[in-house]
Amino acid sequence: MNRLQKANDYIQNNKAKTTNRPYFHFSPGIGWMNDPNGFSFYKGKYHLFYQYYPYDIVWNDMHWGHAVTEDFVTWEYLPVALANDKAYDANGCFSGSAIEKDGNLYLMYTGHIDPNLGFDRDEREVAERQCIAFSEDGVTFKKYEQNPVIGEKQLPEGYLICDFRDPKVLEVDGVYYCVLAVRNAERRGEIIMFQSTNLLDWTFHSSIYEAKFEDNLLLECPDLIRIDDKDVLLFSEMPCDPEYQEVVQNTTAYVIGEMDFKKGIFTPEKKGLLDYGQTFYAPQSTEGKDHERLLIGWMHRWHQTTPPKEYGFNGMMSLPRKLTIQNGKLMQQAAINHEFYFKQTVSLENKVLQNAAFDIEGEGTGYLKLNFSPSRGKNFTIELHKSAESSTRIHVDAENNRIFYESDYGNQGIITINDCFRDDENTLEFYVDLHSVELFINGGEKVATFTAYDQGKGKTVSISAEDKIELTHIYFEEFCL
Ligand code: FRU
Looking at ligand 1, which atom is closest to the CA of residue 220?
9
DSSP assignment of 346-377 equals: EEEEEEEESSEEEEE-SS--EEEEEEE-GGG-
DSSP assignment of 108-162 equals: EEEEEE-TTTTTS--GGG-EEEEEEEEESSSSS-EE-TT--SBSTTTSPTTSEEE
Specify the pTM: 0.97
Each residue of 419-439: pLDDT tens digit? 999 999 999 999 999 999 999
pLDDT value of position 1: 63
Q: Is the pLDDT of residue 301 over 90?
A: no
What's the gap in Å between 164 CA and the centre of ligand 1? 11
Distance CA 223, CA 188 (A): 18
Q: What is the signed CA dihedral for 394, 395, 400, 401, rounded to 10 degrees?
A: 30
Is the distance from CB of 156 to CB of 186 less than 8 angstroms?
Answer: no
State if residue 373 touches ligand 1 by the CB under 6 angstroms criterion.
Answer: no
Q: Is the pLDDT of residue 305 over 90?
A: no
Q: Is the pLDDT of residue 213 over 90?
A: yes
Q: Is the pLDDT of residue 465 over 80?
A: yes
* Residues belonging to the active site: 35
Looking at ligand 1, which atom is closest to the CA of residue 59?
12
pLDDT value of position 236: 98
pLDDT value of position 477: 98
User: Which domains, and CATH codes, for the chain?
Assistant: 3-334 (2.115.10.20), 338-479 (2.60.120.560)
pLDDT value of position 337: 86
> For 408-412, what is the mean pLDDT?
88
Q: Which amino acid appears at position 106 of this protein?
A: Y
Task: Name the residue at shortest CA distance from atom 9 of ligand 1.
Answer: 220
Question: What is residue 133's DSSP assignment?
Answer: E
State if residue 318 touches ligand 1 by the CB under 6 angstroms criterion.
Answer: no
Distance CA 474, CA 347 (A): 6
Mean of the per-residue pLDDT values of the chain: 96
Distance CA 437, CA 213 (A): 34
In three-state secondary structure terms, 186 is: coil
pLDDT value of position 121: 82
Of 37, 50, 52, 94, which is best to mutate to test ligand 1, by the most ligand atoms within 8 angstroms of its C-beta? 94
Q: Is the pLDDT of residue 411 over 90?
A: no
pLDDT value of position 110: 98
pLDDT above 70 as % of the chain:
99
- Tell how far CA 1 is from the center of its chain: 33
State if residue 259 touches ligand 1 by the CB under 6 angstroms criterion.
Answer: no
Q: Is the pLDDT of residue 120 over 90?
A: no
